[in-house]
Structure formats: structure tokens, C-alpha cells
Amino acid sequence: MTSIPTPAVPTLTAGRARSKRLLRLREGAIQTSLVGCGTFSILTTFAIIFVLVTETIRFFQQPEVSVAEFFTGTEWNPLLGAQRHFGIWPLICGTLLVTVVAMLLALPLGFLTAIFLSEYAPRRVRAVLKPVLEVLAGIPTVVYGFFALTVITPALQSMHDGFDVYNATSAGLAVGIMCLPIVCSLSEDALQAVPRSLREGAYALGGTKLDTTLRVTFPAALSGIIAASLLAIARAVGETMIVALAAGNLAHLTADPREQTQTMTAYMVQIFLGDASNFGVEYFSAYAVAATLFVMTLSLTLIGHRIRVRFREEYE
């Protein structure tokens, strides 16, 4: 008898090899896309740094600019012709003053709200309050600025006659309201991430809910709470529209929050939206201020990272 040859049928091994090849191609495409996105972000950051550094160098090359005066001077008048002064401390002072007022509102209120949502609020209340807070984060900052100018400032003036129309207090309070969702949401997430076993252990030792929250849960979540605080501070330092509308444009050294002041970001808005020449010293001064602000926020980020690592090591 003669055997009849059977036609070749694709084997299971060949199908698996094809699937592995397609999987490798897909993973390679995804990896290439991710590398491209990361590279684009890094290149963008270096491009920003390059522009800031080059334009800041051009600012210090101007004949009327002194490096010593810029870092130690207490007068900032870049638009007064022969009476120009380029001491950056009035702008730094205005920025810190608004930030301090904002954090005096945002940090305590944010922490207390986060503790309430995480430890005390019923599930239904939490389901309503947290979305409301997150809605605040989506409000345009120009709305906060007009709110500070038309509502907060008149309210402050009705309570005390010493408030200027433009003042650091109203701007700081508006910035604090804007930063409140950042502090509250991130702090509440950090508290929720604390293992339940720590709470149960504190209860087993006779601790009350308040004792457990303040002595166990809050310290255990301190790393995330510090991160939330630093993020809010960086957000307040870099805020532009609120301070441009409500704080004023008078750069001077003052610790009185009732007076008007000018922040670093508000000065940059004044220059880039004004009639300053593209090659004038006042134009380049905005880049020097921006570079200083970049160094401040970068230092704040590095310090915060160091603090978070230290607290995490102590907890572990």
C-alpha cells in the first residue's frame, strides 16, 4: 500500500513565534515612545535653563547693572531712567510676604480638613466634600484675582482703614484659597495611605481617636504631608494672575501686609506686557528675575526631597 502525503499545517510553535515577534515589536514601540517623551521633557527643561542663563548674562553685561547691587540692593526701580536701581530684594520680599499670608490660611485649614476627611467624616460626606475641593483647583486664577480685588479687599477695608486698595493680605488670602485643594487633597491621600494596622495597634493600647490621629497617623503620613506643603508653597511663589491683579506693582521693602507690594512674577508680567524694548535693560531684567525665581523653586524642591527622605528613613 502507498501512503498518501498529508498537506502541511502551521504548527503551534510557529504561531507562538509570530505572537512573540509581534509582542516584541509592540513593546519596542512603547519603549521608544516613552523614551522620546522623557527626552523631550529633558530637552525642554534644558532649553528653558539655557534661555534664562543666556539672557541673565546679557542683563549683567549691561553697563548700568551691578551684580553686587542685584543681590544685595534694597531698591528696585528699573523703569526710572537715570534713577534706575536693580536690587532684587524688594521683589523677593513681596513674594515671600504674599506666600506667608497664603500659607497661614492654606496649611492649617488644609491639614484640619484632610484629617476630618480621612479620620472622622462619614463616607457620604467625604464623597461630597472632596469633589467640591477639587473643583476649587479648576477655577481660573484670574477669577481668584478679581475675587480678591472686589470682595476680599473691600471686606478688609471695612474692618480696618489701613488697607490699601492693592495689598498683600487680599492677594495672599486668595492665593491661600487657591492652594487649599492642593494641601487638603494630597494630605488626605497621605493619611489614607497609612496602614490600618497602625491605627488598630494604637486602639489596642487604649488610644482614643484623637490620640491615634495626632500621635500615630499624622506622623506616619508626615512625608506625604510635607510634600503637599512644599508643593503648595511652590505654587504660591509662582502664582502670577492673582498677585498681578490684587497685590499691586510697587516694589519696596515692607513687612506690612496692608500695603501694596510687587512679586517677582507680577514684575515679569509688567515688563512683558508693557512697552519695554526687547533689547533694553528692563527687558533683560525680567529674565534675571525669572532665573532667580527658578533657583528659589528648585532649591525648595531639593530641600523638600531631602526632608521627605529623612522622615521616611526615621519612620522605617
Q: What is the mean pLDDT of residues 223-249?
A: 89
Examine residue 98 and state whether it is found in any structural domain, yes or no. yes
Which of 188, 184, 181, 173 is closest to 105 using CA atoms?
Answer: 173
Examine residue 228 and state whether it is found in any structural domain, yes or no. yes
> pLDDT tens digit string along 55-108?
999 999 888 888 888 888 888 888 766 578 888 999 999 999 999 999 999 999
Q: State the pLDDT at residue 211.
A: 84
The answer to whether 263 touches 247, Cβ cutoff 8 Å, is: yes
Strand partners, 85: 77
The answer to whether 71 touches 231, Cβ cutoff 8 Å, is: no
Q: State the pLDDT at residue 5.
A: 56
Strand partners, 76: 86
Q: How far is CA 134 from CA 26, 54, 221, in A?
A: 36, 39, 21
Grid coordinates representing 125? 460626606
More confident residue, 3 or 241: 241
Contacts of 283 (CB under 8 A, 6+ apart): 271, 276, 277
Among 11-20, 66-75, 180-189, 261-270, the range scoring the smallest mean pLDDT is 11-20
What is the DSSP annotation of 176-218? HHHHHHHHHHHHHHHHHTS-HHHHHHHHHTT--HHHHIIIIIH
Examine residue 67 and state whether it is found in any structural domain, yes or no. no
The answer to whether 289 touches 311, Cβ cutoff 8 Å, is: no
What are φ and ψ of residue 6, in 5° steps? -95, 145
Examine residue 41 and state whether it is found in any structural domain, yes or no. no
d(CA 49, CA 297): 13
Which of 153, 128, 65 is closest to 76 using CA atoms?
Answer: 65
> pLDDT tens digit string along 115-161?
998 888 888 888 888 888 888 888 889 999 999 999 999 999 998 88
Grid coordinates representing 314? 526615621
Examine residue 22 and state whether it is found in any structural domain, yes or no. no
Examine residue 50 and state whether it is found in any structural domain, yes or no. no
Examine residue 1 and state whether it is found in any structural domain, yes or no. no
What are φ and ψ of residue 47, in 5° steps? -65, -45
285: CATH: 1.10.3720.10
The answer to whether 292 touches 310, Cβ cutoff 8 Å, is: no
What are φ and ψ of residue 240, in 5° steps? -120, -60
Residue 6 corresponds to which amino acid?
Answer: T
d(CA 280, CA 37): 37
The answer to whether 117 touches 184, Cβ cutoff 8 Å, is: yes
pLDDT at residue 24 greater than cutoff 70: yes
Which of 68, 4, 76, 54 is closest to 252 using CA atoms?
Answer: 76
110 lies in which domain range?
88-315
Examine residue 271 and state whether it is found in any structural domain, yes or no. yes
Q: State the pLDDT at residue 315.
A: 52
The percent of residues in the chain predicted with pLDDT above 70, rounded, is 90
Q: State the pLDDT at residue 15.
A: 65
Q: State the pLDDT at residue 196.
A: 83
> pLDDT tens digit string along 179-194?
999 899 888 888 888 8
Number of domains in the chain: 1
Grid coordinates representing 315? 519612620
